[in-house]
Each structure stands twice: as structure tokens, then as C-alpha cells.
Structure 1
Amino acid sequence: MTDQTLTEPVAPEPAREKKELHLGWALVLISIAQLMVVLDASIANIALPFIGEDLKINDANLTWIVTGYALAFGGLLLLGGRLGDLYGRRRVFMIGLAVFAIASLIGGFAQNEAMLLGSRGLQGLGAALASPAALALITTTFPAGPARNRAFAVYAAMSGAGAAVGLILGGWLTGLDPVIGLEGWRLTFLINVPIGLVAASLAPRFLHESESHPGELDVPGAITGTLGLLGLVYGFSRAGEEAHGWGDTWTIASLVAGVVLLVAFAVIESRVKHPLLPVRVFANRTRATSFLVMMIVPAAMFAMFYFLSLFIQLVVGYSPLHTGFAFLPFSVGIVIGAGVSSNLVNRMDPRFIAGVGTLMAAAALYGFSRLEVPTGTGDLLAVAQGGGDVFLGADVNYWTSIFPFIVLMSVGMGAVFVPLTLTAVHHLRSEDSGIGSGVLNTMQQVGGALGLAILATVSLHFADGTKTDLARDLTAQGLPPADAGQLAFIGSFTEGATAAFLVGAILIAIGSAAIWTFLNVKHEELATDGPEGIHVG
């Protein structure tokens, strides 16, 4: 044994514990940021009637409180991801959180419609900067293998649980009595301010900065890509609104303009030296499959939240806060599913985990499509003659008819998000990590908007015919037109919602088929770093 061997440094236990603690705090920051960004898409939903009353916003414009955020978020994600690659992901992450916090402050103290809608657009910008940077920071902060898999599991759980948490938190805050003169709905915005600012200020301490490449921003690509995505998200969102639909002139014009701009974007990207979206990101079949499925699955999941939350309130008769808590098992289930899948992905190929997860989710949506509520003319007449509140689903047992499928859906989603997030960004070049994350987030947002628009159209198609027939029959039985219309609406909504659930189940089944057919990466590859073909570690 030589002197050199004797004096060779050995990593002490405290140093390893300190590193693990450092990584733990880094994950906390990234997770808080992602949860804040995702839950803000749903936290204001329950508060909408109160916001409309206080700021005198009509029903048509009230939807823009939700749509405006989704529009800016979805349309700017590609640009946000590329800015992180070019100017430093930690820097862009911090700027995004700061912008989000400031926008939330403006929204919390908004005095009129323009001020609130402007703040929601600014929140979307902050989210588009922070979200892809957060996902890319996981790949650069955590070493490949179990540590990164666990980090992705937490990230996926935050992404999936955010909508459910938003419903619960929104219901609770909205129901509070005024705090220091502030109405409860304002707190749904103001709660983000301290969280965002603290997370941004702590980022330099726990997150490493990535290499920057200033001067390489593809401006023509940024303009056409961003406007193209804005056109698509706006068109899909408008198509899903009952007042407009697919035949609306502005819906068609927006979708056509979005497609034309994205075609121009593709041409530009094939010719510039430093493209906003390098074609090589899609060259790998497994990665392309991951992006496709991560567009299809959220499309069905977001629609599930939309229709089921309305069903539980309008048909079953739950209060807004009670409705929020009805989705609490979803948050728990997706955390469990993500945790289990993060352990399995070390020993099992992602195709099997995500494939089973999609089958579970499809089965859950099929279960929702089988919800049985009395909606015949005779049943509705009995409700009208019974007096009191009009709830057709008063006898629907939450624990047997809804709870099992919420749990099945959530665990399935956890099993899908973790492996597909790993395969979507795995073996990307270091300089492409941000844009890869941006593409993944964009697929989820555009998929959500597209899915909601398609399933809303399906729902309206089945509901409209039923509503007309029911209203006519109830009026013929002697009910006043107003009462007949209200009962017919609730009865027809159930028909439309169950049809939408069935189509959602078919969508996820298509995604499952793509996974089983094309996702062929081995679990051993997920424990390696570096671009495709270069295995390190």
C-alpha cells in the first residue's frame, strides 16, 4: 500500500448528506414553482361568479379569466424553453417566477376587467418562462438514475395534482370572509406573491446555472411559432365554448391562421442555423411517441376535470368547496402512482408502466361514462313536483359511483406521466434540454385545449337534441317554460357529459396503442446521461 493510496481523499458521510439536502431543497423549489403554475389554471374557476359580480364582468368575458391564462401560457412555452437554453435556465426560471408573482399581485388588487385580464396574460407569460426551465433544471441538477427518476416523479405528481389542488384551494379561499378588507377571490391570486418571490430569491442558492448561448435566438421562428401556437390555442378554446363552437368565423380564422403560421415556422426552422425548435428533437421515435401521447392523455384528463366538476355541482348537488374536496383523492392517487412508477422505472421498461397506466385511465373514463342518473321526462316531473332544490343525482353514491374511478384515473395518470416525462427529455443534447421541456409542456397545454374543445363539441351534440325534446315534453305536461328549461338543461347535460367521457376513454386508448407499439426504450438506458448514442455513467 503506497502513501498515495493512504492519502487519497474519500467522500465523507456529512458531505454526501449535505449534497442530498441541497438536492432536496432544489426539488422543493422546482416543485413549488410547477405546482403554482399548474394550479393557477384551475384555482380561479370556482371564484368566477364572485369575480364577475365584484368587477361587473359579463358571462361572455368571464371565461377569458381562464382562457387568457391558458392562451399566454400555451402560446409562449416554446419561446420560454428556448430562452432558458440561450440565456441560462436558472435566470429565466427566476424571471418567470418574479413575473408570475408581480402579475398575481396586480390581479389580486385589480379594480376593473382590463386590469384583471391583463394580469392573467402576464401570469401566463411568467408560467411559460418558469415551467420549461423548471423541467430542464431537473435534468441538469439531478444525476441520471434513481435520483432523477424520483425528481421526475415529484414533478409529475405536482403537474397532475395541481388542477385538483387548485379546485380545493380556490373553493376554500373564495368562501372565506373578507380578510383585511379583501374578498376571498382576491386571495386566490395574492397567495402566489410570497411563494413566487421567495422561490425566486432562493433559486441562486440551490440551483446551478446552465451554460448560456446569447445571440442565437431565432427571431423569425420565435414570431411565427409563438403566433401560430396562440392561434391554435385561441381557436381550440373558442371552439369549446357553447356561444361560438367550430362553425364560428373567428374560430375558423384563428385555427387557419395558426396552421399557416406553424407551416411557415417549420419552413424557417429547416433553414436557419440556430432554430427555435431543432428538428432533431423529434428524430428519435421514442421521444416523438412520448410527445404525442403527452398531448393525447392531458386532453382527456383536463376534460375529465371540467365535466366531472360540473356534474358533481349541477347534477349531484355539491357545493363548490365540497366539489373541490371530492377531487382530493385524485391528488393523493397521482402522488402514489408517480411514486410507485418512479421505483418501477429502475427495473421495468417504461412501455409497460405507461401502457398499463393509460389502460387504467381509459377504464376510469369508461366508468364515468356509465354514470346512471334518472333523466327521463317522468323522472324530471317527479323532481319538479317534489319541490326544493333541483338535483337529479341526489341518490348518486359518491363512494361507489365516483370515488373508485377518480382513484383509478389518478394512479393511472401517475404511472403515465413519470416514464413519459423521462423518455421525452432523455438523451437530448444539453443545449436542447430547455426546448425539449418546452415542447413537452406545449403538447400538454395544446392537447388540453384541443381535448376540451373536441369533448365539449361532443357533449353539446348529445345534449342539444336531448334538451329540446325534454323541454318540449315537460312544457306539454304543464310545467312553466322556465322550470322546464332548467330541468331539461340539467338532464341533457348528463347525457352530454357521459358521451364526452366515453370519447375521452377512446382517446386515451389510442394513446395506449401508440405506447405499446412505438415506445421501445429500455429501462437501462434511462440510467445514462448524454445525447443519444453517448452513454455516460
Structure 2
Amino acid sequence: MARRRLAVVLLGAAQVLVVFDTTAFAMALPWISARARMSVDGLTWLITTYSVCFAALPVLAVALGEAFGQRRVLMGGLVLSSAAAAASGVTQDAGVLLTSRAVQGVAAAAITAGAVALIESTHPEGRSRDRALSVHFVVVAAAGPAVVLPSTMLLSTMDSGAAVFWAQAVVGALLLLLVPVALTESAPGPDARSRVGRAAAAVLPLGFLAWLADWLGDHSVSPTTITAVAVAGALTPSSLSWLGRRGDEPSLFTRLYRERAALGAYTVMALLAACLAGASLVLTIALQILGGLSPESVGWALLPAVAGLVLGWLTLPVLAARVGLAATVAVACGMAAAGFVLLSLGGRSYHLADVLPPLLLLAYGCGVLALPVSFTRSGSGALPRGLNSSRQLGAGLGASLFVGVLTVVEQGTSMSYNDHKTYQAVLSGAFRDCFELGVALALAAAAVALLTLPWQGLRTTAPDPGVSDGAPAGTAGSPGSSGR
């Protein structure tokens, strides 16, 4: 039991390290810009490169773990993460920085894919695994707003962006040493290696989609256009599932083809992950430029989002048990949309008092990201690993989309930061466009939930048909969970 708890803590820490990398890197961009003498375009490429790699590789990372062992994949991700962080800390070369961000994206995909699979391999089916997965997903969901404060405190204390990268490298190395102690290797599945090549076929369309999201963001600020791209991205796994009819793809795609509710679960996760990632990124910038807050104050301002996510994690399953998963998820998505609406009405000033209520609404709605067990118990056929991959894909898409919207506005104006009032007015419009995009994405997720997810209440006292010890047949950890 103690070893299982250690495994949950260790895997949660590994996922927090991934989120810390993304957040701390964004906070260190001014230091990177001055040190490497990079333009806005160059900085945007650093974010885009990471997002594309992170969004493109979840399916391949899962397949590699099934073929060669999930612990090996996790350890490989930690090695790459530490090496890339160290490179970012010592270099002043823009090309090396770009390469290190690509490597970090690969590392993040490997760590994220390995974490959920290793929880499954270290916990038997039933309540133990359900609790571990539930805790893991809420930690991952809350990590985004939670790590802003320690990132900014580290930057302020050390007065150097290099400290962030060295801290990441050291923590990654420590986790790498602990992994063999706390985690046992998962057994490779039969014929798993033969599926690696087919899973690799998903890399190109997913990577292209993440890049296209950024490109469209750079060339259009129309929320309608970009929402269409985001929804297409969230539906990509189901499009690839057509190949699964002949058994040519991993079981996730085959299951998506067969089950409408599973398609809905994965799509909602991707769309809400895009909302949360984009909102965190935009608010971090808006609170500094328009709200006049210091980076450390921004960290404190975003902390209430953690409370909102945890509250959603605690209350949404109870609501789903009474009124059904479809209605619960749709209401949560509607609350996230309401939060975005309030943020878009914020005008030219984003002070803490203005941001707190909508941030809590948005975070509570995104508490759906912490509910993989509720999705599997609903009989939707959704797999925890697939839900994690969808969240990963959505987060990458969200970062690309929202950064693209901000970039095109800044590039389209000749105003400089010295003309402070005009610059703020222009950027306030860009932030409003981003929040309107968030409204559209959240409402799209609500519509998908109503059209695809089960309407009946979830049974909490007895298992659903086809459920073994509280886990649906075919979910991760059962014989059909990984295409074995």
C-alpha cells in the first residue's frame, strides 16, 4: 500500500514537472528574449514548437510504452526533460533554444503517457485504481494555475531565467533516480511492437493540426474560424478511427469508431483542456500588462483557480450520479463559458477583483478534466489513457490557438510599448478575442456533451453492466484496454 501511494505521489510530481516547464518557460520569456536577442516571432516559435511536439506524440508514446515498458518511456522522458532544461539554461543561441523546446515537447508527451499507464500497472482494478486515477487527474488539472506562483517566486529570488531551467533539470534527475525504486515495469503486450509503426502514423496529422492551429491564429482573429479548427482537432482521433475498422490502429481508435459516447468524452476533454491552457496563458499576460501586477502577484491571483478545479472534482461526480453525465458536463462547460464571457467584458483593466469571480467559474467548469473515473463508469467506453491523451492534445492546441491570436494583433499594429495607453488598448482587444474564443470552445464542448454522453445518472452503489469491480470492461487495465 505504501509503495502504491509513493507511486501516485511520484507520478503526480512528474506531471507537475511537465506543467512547471510550460509555465516557467512562459514567465521567463522576457529574460530569454533579452539574452538570446529574439524577436516576438522567435519567441512565438519557441512556444509553438513545444506545443506541436506535445500535441502530436501522445498516441505514439502510449504505443511505445505498451511495446517496451511504460517505466522505460517515463524514464526516457525524464532524461530528455532534464537534458533539454539544462541546455536552455546555458545557451544563448536561438537555434539551440528552439531544438531544446522541441525535445521538451517530446519529453512531456512521454512523461504524460507513461504516468497514467504506470498507475494502472501498479494498482489493481477497483477502488484503489479509481482513487489513484482520480487524484492524478485533479493534480494535473490544478497544476497549471498552481505552479505560476512558485515559478515567479523562483524568477524573482534568483533574478535569472536560468534558475528556472536548472531547477527543472535537477528535479527531473531526482525523479529519474526514484522511478526504479517506486515503480515496477509494465509487461509488454503481445504484438505490441507491431502497433508502434501504425501509431506513428498518427504523429503527422496531429502535429500538422497543432501547427495549423498556430498558423491560423497568426492569420485570423476570427473566433469562428479558430473554433472550427479546435473542434476539428478534438475530433481528429475519431477521424483516424476509421482505419480501426480493419484492426489497423490501436484499440483506442477502434473503440472511438464504435462508441459515440466515447467520442464525446474524448472531444470534451480536448476542448476543455484547450480552454484551461489558453485562459491560464492569456490571464498571465493580461494581468501584467493591463492589470499592472508583478509576475509574483499574478501567481497569487491565479491560485483561486486551483480551488475551483478541486471543487469541481469533488462535486461534479455527485451531480452526475443524480442527473446524468451529459447534463452535468454540459452545465460545467456552460459555467466555463460564463467565466470567459465575464472576462471578455473586463474592458481595458484586469484587476484582481475583476478576474476572481470569472476565474472561479471557469475553473469549476474545467473541473471536468479531473473526472476520468466518472467517464469510464458512465459506460461510454472512454479509456483513462485516451482521456489523458485527449487532454494533452487539447492543451497543445489551446496554447497554439491563443498565442496565435495575441501574436497576430501585436504584429498587426505599429504601436510600440512606449505608447503605453494605445498599446494597452490594442492588446485589450486581443485579450477580448481570446476570451470570446474560449466562450466558443466551451459552448462547443457543452453541445458535444449533450449530443453524445449518457443521460442516465451514474450508479455509485452497483457496477454498470460489463463492469468488473467498478471498472468498465475494456477500460485501461482490463484485457481489452490496450489492444492486447
TM-score normalised per structure 2: 0.81
Partner-residue secondary structure (3-state), 2:202:
helix
Distance 1:338 1:368, change over 3 A: same
- Is the CA contact 2:402–2:434 (under 8 Å) kept in the aligned structure 1? no
Rounded Cα–Cα distance in structure 2 between residues aligned with 1:198 and 1:482: 44
Rounded Cα–Cα distance in structure 2 between residues aligned with 1:327 and 1:530: 36
Rounded Cα–Cα distance in structure 2 between residues aligned with 1:343 and 1:202: 36
Deviation readout 1:454-500 (Å, 9 max, x if unpaired): 8659x959x97xx89xxxxxxxxxxxx87995423311322342343
Which residue number corresponds to residue 398 of structure 1? 352
Which residue number corresponds to residue 419 of structure 1? 371
Q: Does 1:211 align with 2:187?
A: yes
Q: Does 1:440 align with 2:390?
A: yes
Distance 1:370 1:511, change over 3 A: same
Which residue number corresponds to residue 504 of structure 1? 438
Q: What amino acid maps onto 2:154 in structure 1?
A: L
Rounded Cα–Cα distance in structure 1 between residues aligned with 2:125 and 2:330: 23
Q: Does 1:236 align with 2:178?
A: no
How far residue 331 of structure 1 moved from its aligned partner, in angstroms, is 2.4
How far residue 166 of structure 1 moved from its aligned partner, in angstroms, is 3.8
- Is the CA contact 1:96–1:125 (under 8 Å) kept in the aligned structure 2? yes
Q: What amino acid maps onto 1:29 in structure 2?
A: L
Q: Does 1:201 align with 2:182?
A: no
Rounded Cα–Cα distance in structure 2 between residues aligned with 1:104 and 1:283: 42
How far residue 84 of structure 1 moved from its aligned partner, in angstroms, is 1.2
Q: What amino acid maps onto 2:358 in structure 1?
A: F
Matched ranges for 1:321-336 at <5 A: 321-336=296-311
Which residue number corresponds to residue 472 of structure 1? none
Q: Does 1:487 align with 2:468?
A: no
TM-score normalised per structure 1: 0.74
Distance 1:34 1:309, change over 3 A: same
Aligned length: 461
Q: Does 1:227 align with 2:204?
A: yes
How far residue 203 of structure 1 moved from its aligned partner, in angstroms, is 2.4
Rounded Cα–Cα distance in structure 1 between residues aligned with 2:307 and 2:384: 29
Which residue number corresponds to residue 4 of structure 1? none
Distance 1:144 1:404, change over 3 A: farther
Distance 1:293 1:311, change over 3 A: same
How far residue 48 of structure 1 moved from its aligned partner, in angstroms, is 0.8
Q: What amino acid maps onto 1:199 in structure 2?
A: L
Decide which structure has the larger Cα Rg and report it.
Answer: 1
Distance 1:231 1:372, change over 3 A: closer
Distance 1:424 1:496, change over 3 A: farther
Distance 1:238 1:170, change over 3 A: farther
Q: What amino acid maps onto 1:188 in structure 2?
A: V
Rounded Cα–Cα distance in structure 2 between residues aligned with 1:514 and 1:329: 28
Q: What amino acid maps onto 2:375 in structure 1?
A: T
Deviation readout 1:259-291 (Å, 9 max, x if unpaired): 9x9999667655565648642244222221111
Q: Does 1:142 align with 2:154?
A: no
Which residue number corresponds to residue 190 of structure 1? 166
Rounded Cα–Cα distance in structure 1 between residues aligned with 2:380 and 2:176: 26
Deviates more, 1:357-366 or 1:73-82: 357-366
Deviation readout 1:80-103 (Å, 9 max, x if unpaired): 011112222222122222221222
Rounded Cα–Cα distance in structure 2 between residues aligned with 1:144 and 1:170: 37
Distance 1:533 1:230, change over 3 A: closer
Any stretches of 5+ residues in structure 2 without a counterpart?
479-484
Matched ranges for 1:104-115 at <5 A: 104-115=85-96
Which residue number corresponds to residue 473 of structure 1? none
How far residue 292 of structure 1 moved from its aligned partner, in angstroms, is 0.8
Rounded Cα–Cα distance in structure 1 between residues aligned with 2:476 and 2:276: 36
Distance 1:454 1:117, change over 3 A: closer
- Is the CA contact 2:279–2:435 (under 8 Å) kept in the aligned structure 1? yes
Distance 1:316 1:438, change over 3 A: closer
Rounded Cα–Cα distance in structure 2 between residues aligned with 1:533 and 1:51: 43
How far residue 418 of structure 1 moved from its aligned partner, in angstroms, is 2.4
- Is the CA contact 1:42–1:167 (under 8 Å) kept in the aligned structure 2? yes
Q: Does 1:300 align with 2:281?
A: no
- Is the CA contact 1:281–1:436 (under 8 Å) kept in the aligned structure 2? no
- Is the CA contact 1:106–1:119 (under 8 Å) kept in the aligned structure 2? yes
Q: Does 1:25 align with 2:2?
A: no
- Is the CA contact 1:133–1:437 (under 8 Å) kept in the aligned structure 2? no
Partner-residue secondary structure (3-state), 1:208:
coil
Rounded Cα–Cα distance in structure 1 between residues aligned with 2:420 and 2:69: 55
Q: Does 1:452 align with 2:394?
A: no
Q: What amino acid maps onto 1:198 in structure 2?
A: L
- Is the CA contact 2:275–2:441 (under 8 Å) kept in the aligned structure 1? yes
How far residue 34 of structure 1 moved from its aligned partner, in angstroms, is 0.9
Q: What amino acid maps onto 2:90 in structure 1?
A: F
Deviates more, 1:131-140 or 1:433-442: 433-442
Partner-residue secondary structure (3-state), 1:209:
coil
How far residue 534 of structure 1 moved from its aligned partner, in angstroms, is 12
Deviates more, 1:166-175 or 1:325-334: 166-175
Rounded Cα–Cα distance in structure 1 between residues aligned with 2:124 and 2:378: 12
Distance 1:448 1:91, change over 3 A: same
- Is the CA contact 2:142–2:306 (under 8 Å) kept in the aligned structure 1? yes
Q: 2:285 aligns with which of 292, 307, 310?
A: 310
CA-atom RMSD in angstroms: 3.9
Q: 2:153 aligns with which of 154, 158, 172?
A: 172
- Is the CA contact 2:343–2:355 (under 8 Å) kept in the aligned structure 1? yes
Q: What amino acid maps onto 1:488 in structure 2?
A: T
How far residue 190 of structure 1 moved from its aligned partner, in angstroms, is 1.5
How far residue 319 of structure 1 moved from its aligned partner, in angstroms, is 1.8
Rounded Cα–Cα distance in structure 2 between residues aligned with 1:96 and 1:533: 25
Q: What amino acid maps onto 1:398 in structure 2?
A: L
How far residue 433 of structure 1 moved from its aligned partner, in angstroms, is 6.3
Distance 1:187 1:141, change over 3 A: same
Distance 1:528 1:152, change over 3 A: same
Rounded Cα–Cα distance in structure 1 between residues aligned with 2:246 and 2:267: 25
Which residue number corresponds to residue 39 of structure 1? 20
How far residue 245 of structure 1 moved from its aligned partner, in angstroms, is 4.8
Distance 1:425 1:139, change over 3 A: farther
Which residue number corresponds to residue 365 of structure 1? 340
Distance 1:278 1:87, change over 3 A: farther
Q: 2:101 aligns with which of 101, 120, 136?
A: 120
How far residue 293 of structure 1 moved from its aligned partner, in angstroms, is 0.6
